[in-house]
Amino acid sequence: MYEIWLMLNIVWEILLTAWTLVLVLLLLFVGLSLAAVLRRGANWRAAWPVALAGAALVGVASFLLLPSLTRSSLGELKFWVDWLALAGVAGGFALLAAALLLPLTAFLKRQGI
């Protein structure tokens, strides 16, 4: 339990160090979601495949690039927890991408167009 609480605090502090970026992404998400919800004919069903594909792309790219961006390399992943941790972080970026791509694509792909 303590480790979970510690991890939440670590994530919180990391977000604080990049709070302007977090704020921009949050506003972007809210703006896109509102725009998609309020737009007549927003095609959510068609948006899912695009959002998932985009998220997968971001996830894979994150998985491959994160080690070198943190001054390490994929070759240093020699322990199963390394793979798990990297997959978790990459999954977080993928989720973020999906959260932005879904309303954006729904907004752009109007039903019947």
Please report how many Cα atoms fall inside a 13 Å half-sphere around the Cα of residue 95, on the Cβ side. 6
Strand pairing partners for 42? 110
Say how many residues touch another protein, by CB under 8 A.
27
Q: Which amino acid is located at 8 in the chain? A: L
**3-class SS of residue 42:** strand
Rounded distance between C-alpha atoms, residue 28 and residue 26, angstroms: 5
Residues within window 30-69 making contact with another protein, judged by CB under 8 A:
67
Rule CB under 8 A: choose which of 40, 81, 112, 113 binds another protein.
81
The helix/strand/coil state of 110 is strand
Q: Does 82 bind another protein (CB under 8 A)?
A: yes
CB 62 within 8 A of CB 94: yes
Q: Which of 40, 79, 112, 113 binds another protein (CB under 8 A)?
A: 79
Amino acid in position 95: L
**If DSSP codes are grouped into helix, strand and coil, which group holds residue 65?**
helix
Among 3, 40, 45, 112, binds another protein (CB under 8 A): 3
Instruction: Provide, rounded to whole angstroms, the least separation between the CB of residue 17 and another protein.
Output: 7
Which of the stretches 9-17, 24-32, 57-65, 97-105 binds another protein when contact is defined by CB under 8 A? 9-17
Q: Given the rule CB under 8 A, which residues bind another protein?
A: 2-3, 5-6, 8-14, 16-17, 19, 67, 70-73, 76-79, 81-82, 85-86
